[in-house]
Chains A and B, each alone.
Chain A
């Protein structure tokens, strides 16, 4: 029972990271129909920005937790900035050209990994972690790593924040309408292009945050990290219904739990296979999963 509880909480922690990675992807696809393969580059930018902030920008005499807090802010800003630039420079000229969008974002993803390898090397760099996050807390007999609670709290906060944005603001109203019918929003005199840029920036910010927290989870930053997290993010977005934020949240939790439980109860490595099987099952039973509603 203790093992199960531990697996569930750690699975939720992993699911929280997947949600952080997938939420921006889901928002961007939902509104703009853009399959953003460069999302991994946004995550990598966030993780490296956070690593640089913690190890070079801020003095090592500063508490690690304080440095991490600043690094989180930097990762969010850098992610948003990268998202903004990618949308304005690369995506905007290619709206309604989906194949070209895919090619450009795949190209950017590959180029960014190569660039990171060229600048910082291919080897993973250790990332300082606050002592408290490395410790465990006893929960009904199970010793749960504290960082999982942080991931879950941040993911819940992001989920609620995005729901509030979508349902309580004019921007959210435009986004929800745009997900249903972009052309009609434009025909009402509303500048959808500007909304696209904002959504891409929000998606980039969430990705930057996801990248840094995933680095906290793994303890290192590396050029390939964003790409490996992106695979799970895509699986989560497809299972959750492309563009559906609550669907993305549920799918992220499901994927995290399935992965953890399968790895423990079957064999190490079966978790990844189980996630792919879950994706196949969802697509077989619900082919409409490729479509979705935002909220």
Chain B
């Protein structure tokens, strides 16, 4: 593992601000995401992690500079940002519950859908459920649909928001396995509260507090320092379950 500073970034966020009504949610957030591996975006609840992902994607009103793969994207509409290679797996999965698994996937890849090699290889459990409505799947299965859906499009960066939220420990491990596999070929910016999972798959961490970046560095170094972890995140590894 190495720190962000030693590798070329696939994404550079500079002085990012987000305001909703009278609230100033992000107050000048700046960080890089390395071109390989997993960068974890950490912080207590409500510090702006999800808003950061949404702002990168154009789903939140933002100012500042965002450079992805060498191109400034802060003025681009969401559809263009996604088509240019940034995939997004939202918090709570947000699969289309009334559509079947197959339809959820064909929405992105109309020709191959569930028959795409990436789905067959990484999500074989979805294949027999192709005709099942996504809303009737378990949380873990829905997460697989949400991940498969973005991987059907050529992706240069994946934004993943709390993929293990609400999942049973066994499913957390399965999701972590998939993310680790994905991260071998595609850099991932991961919002996650599960520190054992972060320790297992993340290379770098960016910690937010009150809409500002308060720490950047190696994931291993931060998590090894229990006092610093507790200071920044309010928790330490001893209180977390296994990934």
Interface residues of A (CB under 8 A from B): 170, 173-174, 176-177, 180-181, 183-192, 293
Contacts and interface: CB of A to CB of B under 8 A. Distances in A.
Interface stretch (B97-105, B182-190, B197-205): B97-105
Contact of B83 (A170, A176, A189): A189
Given A187-B90, A188-B149, A173 B106 contact: yes
Interface of B: 57, 59, 78-79, 82-83, 88, 90, 94, 96-99, 103-104, 106-108, 110, 149-150, 153
Contacts of A176: 96, 98-99, 103
Nearest to A178: B96
A187 B78 contact: yes
A189 B97 contact: no
B108 A188 contact: yes
A126 to B, nearest CB: 46
Contacts of B110: 170, 173
Contacts of A170: 106, 110
B82 to A, nearest CB: 3
B99 A186 contact: no
B97 A188 contact: no
Given A173-B99, A180-B96, A180-B98, A187 B107 contact: no
A181 B97 CA distance: 10
Contact of B57 (A187, A190, A191, A293): A187
Nearest to A177: B96
Contact of A184 (B83, B90, B103): B90
A185 B106 CA distance: 12
Contact of B82 (A177, A180, A187, A293): A187
A187 B59 contact: yes
A219 to B, nearest CB: 42
Given A187-B90, A189-B79, A180 B97 contact: yes
Nearest to A191: B79
A180 B90 CA distance: 15
A181 B99 contact: no
Contacts of A189: 78-79, 82-83, 108, 153
A185 B107 contact: yes
A253 to B, nearest CB: 24
Given A173-B106, A174-B107, A177-B107, A186 B96 contact: no
B96 A181 contact: yes
A14 B78 CA distance: 44
A170 B98 CA distance: 15
Nearest to B77: A186
Nearest to B85: A189
| Residue from B79, B99, B153 with most neighbouring chain A CB atoms (10 Å) | B79
Nearest to B152: A188
| Residue from A185, A188, A191, A192 with most neighbouring chain B CB atoms (10 Å) | A188
Contacts of B103: 173, 176-177
B78 A186 contact: yes
Contacts of A186: 59, 78-79, 82
A177 B82 CA distance: 17
Contacts of B98: 176, 180, 293
